[in-house]
A and B are shown apart, each in its own frame.
Chain A
């Protein structure tokens, strides 16, 4: 496998993912307990000059055709998340895509209405507002199974809390 980030372009460039980059996302899917094809079909990455990470996208076939010959691509297709070294940080759209698997192949965190409100403020949710615990790191949904983001289980004062990794409130706080 080749290491990424060599020879970064002067302008943002979208290209098919390398085997290494695919491997990073496949490992993430395995950690969640889902198949890689539940995460992506056509994996592309966006290289940004002077950035220590790449953004990963699932780019539909028709859009990949448009891409040829274009420079300075800012974004394309379905945003999956960010690859930094051998780590993958999933984005909010991926929480929506995978939330359909909650209760089937994916063990999601389910929060009550108070927990939803707290979570969307980007704050940790105490265990009494978590109706169902998922994997340590997993998709967080409300009781209607609507995706709220990604959360991780931590211990605090001898109790479990659900800590947001990224939540939909981001769209208000930073999304523009």
Chain B
């Protein structure tokens, strides 16, 4: 039974590393199973000790990115282009917080982690298309969808949290976008007639991938929490697949390296429904998706998913998969 991945027996190695790095032991045991090599687990844990760099996405809808760079550099910022992102920059040196400049207030950029910029690149939204963004707030990817389509896609941004939708609305206004509708709703209970050309689901997750930003995540989620999240993610992804047109794509992403929150979720749905397949993500960097974990085999096509790791790619931990509806 594939559900056995939630039955974690903690080894002595896991206990020692958990104590040394301050994690819950079950997490380390999972990393040992994921990487299959204790040295790589140590590299991963060491990389998680490094704070995230300050990064942002230039809003090319409002400003030429070269001009933005010049303006920020004239104020003392030292910037570098982020590899494998279309509009990403890292602030190597920042005289003030990157989120407190006049350029930020003018909507010329969005403060965003590097791997978080990739799901929209995978989604590849086009002008004129109807795009559904589930769990959309606070709006990093929603604003990116409108940016790359020149505010010409029709975006329905759904989130259940009023507070987070407030932030989404604020970012939309700040960055100059109008082609969106923000809906406060449970994505699992949308009207059946909503059928989008493309759907993005950056699912609520354990946040295991953002330990570099939030070390409290080392201990804040139990194995039971993980199982609950995995169930929720499966329901949300099932809804996402219901709301995409035939031939359309769903991009599923989490800021987690947990197999339970990624390949396992998709594998369950591959078993439950036969109307979609996993597509290659050639343009997105990362390690291949996992097809075997804790002695459980998943569908071979899940190798097409992309996994980003702090020790290999310098980003936050992140997983991206693209699904195509038949």
- Give chain A's interface residues, CB within 8 Å of chain B: 12, 58, 60, 62-63, 65-67, 69-79, 91-93, 96, 116-117, 120, 146-147, 168-169, 171-172, 175-176
Q: Per a CB cutoff under 8 Å, which of A58, A66, A120, A176 touches B102?
A: A120
A67 surroundings in chain B (CB, below 8 A): 181
Instruction: Judge if B216 is at the interface, Cβ distance under 8 Å.
Output: no
B 150-191 contacts with A by CB, 8 A: 154, 156, 162-163, 165-174, 176, 178-185, 191
Tell me the smallest distance from the CB of A55 to a CB of chain B, in Å.
Answer: 10
B181 and A73 within 8 A (CB): yes
Q: With A and B bound together, what is the CA distance between A147 and B173 in angstroms? A: 13
**Shortest beta-carbon distance from A119 to chain B in Å:** 10
Does residue B283 face the partner (Cβ distance < 8 Å to A)? no
Q: A-B pairs with the 4 shortest C-beta distances?
A: A176-B167, A175-B170, A78-B178, A168-B105
Most chain A CB inside 10 Å of its own CB: which residue of B167, B176, B180: B180
B contact set with A: CB distance below 8 Å: 99-100, 102, 104-107, 130, 138, 154, 156, 162-163, 165-174, 176, 178-185, 191, 193
How far apart are the CA atoms of A172 and B173 in the complex, in Å? 13
Sample (18) of A-B pairs whose CB atoms are under 8 Å apart = A60-B154, A63-B154, A66-B154, A66-B156, A66-B181, A69-B193, A70-B183, A70-B191, A74-B182, A74-B184, A75-B181, A75-B182, A77-B181, A92-B173, A96-B176, A146-B106, A175-B167, A176-B166
Q: How far apart are the CA atoms of A97 and B104 in the complex, in Å?
A: 18
**Chain A residues within an 8 Å CB radius of B176:** 93, 96
The answer to whether A77 and B180 touch across the interface, beta carbons within 8 angstroms, is yes
Interfacial chain A residues near B106, Cβ < 8 Å = 146-147, 168
Main SS class of interface, A: mixed
**Residues in A whose Cβ lies below 8 Å from that of B183:** 70, 72-74
Q: Within the complex, which residue of A74, A77, A168 is in contact with B162, where a contact is CB–CB below 8 Å?
A: A74
* A residues less than 8 Å from B193 (CB atoms): 69
Q: Which residues of B contact A169 (CB under 8 A)?
A: 105
Chain B residues lying within 8 Å of A66, measured Cβ to Cβ, are 130, 154, 156, 181
- Tell me, in angstroms, the Cα distance from A65 to B191 when the chains sit together: 14
Q: How far is the CA of A85 from the CA of B162 in the complex (A)?
A: 26
B172 x A75 contact (CB < 8 A): yes
Kindly name the residue among A12, A71, A147, A172 whose own CB sees the greatest number of chain B CB atoms within 10 A: A172
Query: Do A76 and B181 contact each other (CB < 8 Å), given the known contacts A69-B193, A171-B170, A176-B170?
Result: yes
Instruction: Name the A residues within 8 Å of B100 (CB-CB).
Output: 172
Q: A69-B191, A75-B165, A79-B169 are in contact. Are A62 and B179 (CB under 8 A)?
A: yes
**Nearest-Cβ distance from residue A140 to partner chain B, whole angstroms:** 13
A75, A76, A91, A92, most chain B CB atoms within 10 A: A75
Q: Cβ of A72 and Cβ of B178 under 8 Å apart? A: no
Q: Which residues of B contact A93 (CB under 8 A)?
A: 173, 176, 178
A36 CA to B45 CA, complexed, in Å: 59
Chain A contacts of B105 at CB under 8 A?
Answer: 120, 168-169, 171-172
Residues of chain B lying within 8 A (CB to CB) of residue A147: 106
A104, B174: Cα distance in complex, Å: 24
- With both beta carbons as reference points, the residue of chain B lying nearest to A60 in the complex is identified as B179
* A68 and chain B: residue at smallest CB distance: B193
A4→B105 CA distance, assembly (Å): 34
Looking at the assembled complex, report how far the CB atom of A22 sits from the nearest CB atom of chain B, in whole angstroms: 19
Assess whether B180 is in contact with A63, with CB atoms less than 8 Å apart.
yes
